A and B are shown apart, each in its own frame.
Chain A
Amino acid sequence: METLSNKPSLARRLVIGRNPRVTLIRASLLALVFSVLFGFVLRPMRVKGFSMTPTYRDGSVNLLNRLAYRSSPPRRGDVVCIKTTGMRHLYMKRVIGLPGERVAIVAGQVMIDGQPLDEPYVVDREKWNLPEKQLGPNEYIVIGDNRQMDQSLHSWGRVTREKIAGKVLW
């Protein structure tokens, strides 16, 4: 009878476990791993706005890999986030122009070094125009997938690599 009364209840075992000290250490380690992972490596984010439709819809949730470009530079077609003065608000854009390239947009068609760029992610496009720009050794051109909107309403253009906060995970 004595042994039965000393046995912790099922609810207590489920919540705290058999050994509270071990559970506490496990919970602390888990919290540490989660805070490092989601604080410094994978940043959760919510898409606001329509500049990346149809690829990313308003309100969708994603993760930003902040370590993606530590060992290799951004590549054409990557969807990246651009920093503002900090990380609270970011712009989600697609990389179309790489360092050293000449980039132009003629009647909605992106031209890289004089050649048209195939962009299967763009569904429909307005006749945007951009006079040819020569990118510097550390510069990229980023743009949204939604080219149906007026060019003047869309935030896009040239950024340096330091402004790229990371790569969108999916």
Chain B
Amino acid sequence: MVKQLPKILIILALAGAVIWGLRILFPGNETRIRRNLEELSELATFTGREGNFKKVATASALSEHFSTNAEIVIEVAGSGVGTLQGRGEIRQRVFAAMTQGRAFQVQFYDINIVVAPDKQTATAEMTAKISPGDGDFIVQELRFHLGKADSNWVIERIETMKTFQ
């Protein structure tokens, strides 16, 4: 048994490597949603000094994370409710924000993802930290509703969650 220990360890290490490789090559729904959200926060973070081509490309890439009829309804204390309707409006607003020349940072923390049993819809609840570039920041709990479109996960709706009732 002791003589076979190195062999057993090698087999276990190989099995672990295969499982790890399969997970990288064929990620599950939750992993794919998590990656999408990471990419979304990276795209929504900008310095304000990007060139026009980069601005257009970023706004377009960011809007691709949303379904064509996506809706964003955000309620921030003291600022009322802001609504965006459709991929086109989201693209325009992102481009407009980037042309203001101000830095903007979006980070998502404590992301809890629940994929529906049919694996066609999912919700992701998270805490977003949004820094509009003036040194101040807003912390807001958000709920994303996602759906599958051509095997890709896209955002159908973003809404605020109320920490206090």
- Tell me the A residues contacting B by CB distance below 8 Å: 82, 84-89, 91, 142, 150, 152-159, 163
Contacts and interface: CB of A to CB of B under 8 A. Distances in A.
Contacts of A91: 163
B32 to A, nearest CB: 20
B34 interface: no
B111 A89 contact: no
B139 to A, nearest CB: 5
Interface size class of B (residues with CB under 8 A): 10 to 19
A59 to B, nearest CB: 13
A159 B77 contact: no
Nearest to A150: B78
Given A84-B141, A158-B165, A89 B78 contact: no
B134 to A, nearest CB: 14
A158 B110 contact: no
A153 to B, nearest CB: 4
Nearest to B139: A89
Nearest to B107: A88
B78 A86 contact: no
B77 A85 contact: no
